[in-house]
Amino acid sequence: MLSTALNVEDVRRLARRRLPRGIFDYIDRGAEDEVGLARLRRGFDDVLFHPRVLVDVSRRDLSTRLFGHEQSLPLVIAPTAAAGLAWHQGEIELARAAAKAGIPFTIAMESITELERIVTESRARLWFQLYMWQARDLSYALIDRAWASGIETLVLTVDTVANPIREYNIRNGYAVPIRASLRGGLDMLTHPRWVVSVLLRYLLDEGMPTYRHYPEGMRASITRSKPTSEVRLTDALGWDDLKELRRRWRGRLILKGVLTTGDAVRAVEAGADGIVVSSHGARNLDSAVPPVRILPAIAEAVRGRATVLADSGVRRGTDVLKLMALGADAVLVGRAPLYGIAVAGEAGASHVLDLLRREMLATLGLLGCTRLDALDSSFVSYERS
């Protein structure tokens, strides 16, 4: 089946067939009227390449150095909360695919597989995502747990301080907590392979999937509300929280969800080692500016002081190279590898990463460029509408 998937969109279509609609839509769709999803694609399409010719590109290199580590691709797998529902133990499968590709994997805070198990079973270079809970002491205990497990990079996600408006989740019965409904039940019955290979395996192994990073006694299954307000995401997150986190966290600290130059500069001044220019894949604020538009200004504002990463809407290797030409040091990919594991677990995610690798190699050659560090803004321009 994977052999017929020649690009990420092909893998996406296969994932759509395999997953219940509620889970697929949760992964695939955006917020409100979903104009943001179209704008993300249009943003990439509006960036044009200016290739060089008569350049020897027989030795092209996609390797890069990120936070002191040499890696074979300029990619990081983004934190995605639905990975464990797309495939049984999907977080481990994704982490193994990342390890095979030589890139980092970011564990989602709302993962249904505990970070300690992912560390032990994947042998990947792992980052950990943090959303700040209302009870700060519980958040600090969680990052201590991550550090004790050997994780040295923390990604604080700051663009989800209110519940995004995603009506399709409610219609599909996939609002958290997941509620039993006729529509949801029929949806599962029409996807028996997923029921048997994912849900039934969880039920037989460990019961209903649970958010494993919540404190003991406060862990809720995916079908129950969080038992206490202490572990609800705070909407009172401020710059002092970032400074306090910097004081407590001994490793690398990355701020994810930055879309203005002022916030980027302030993040660096507060001690962030890196920032992720991100619109959360158009899943939160529907009319947020596409990262591809604001990235050059942010990269210039913090040049030499912080590592700049970018994400949101990446479907092609060309998208990755456009972001890098505009100032990103590396690119996070979220939905694309999720489609892969939904189809074939680790093998599916590896297939997606290989597709992106091949597309990047081909594009780099066609650009007349042999190395990523030679790729700059002179290779791109914006099409004017």
- Supply the residues annotated as catalytic: 280
- Cα(344)–Cα(96) distance, integer angstroms: 13
- Cα(320)–Cα(356) distance, integer angstroms: 8
- CA-wise closest residue to 345 among 26, 110, 96: 96
Q: What does the DSSP 8-state code read for residue 195?
A: I
For β-strands 64-66 and 69-71, DSSP reports them as antiparallel
- What is the dihedral sign for C-alpha 210, 213, 215, 218? negative
- Distance (Å) of CA 336 to CA 20, 28, 296, 300, 311: 17, 9, 24, 28, 11
Local structure of 193: helix, strand or coil: helix
Local structure of 107: helix, strand or coil: strand
- Cα(198)–Cα(203) distance, integer angstroms: 9
136-148 vs 115-122: helix crossing angle, rounded to 10? 20
Bridge partners of residue 114, in order along the sequence: none
Local structure of 34: helix, strand or coil: coil
| DSSP H or E stretch at residue 380 | strand 380-382
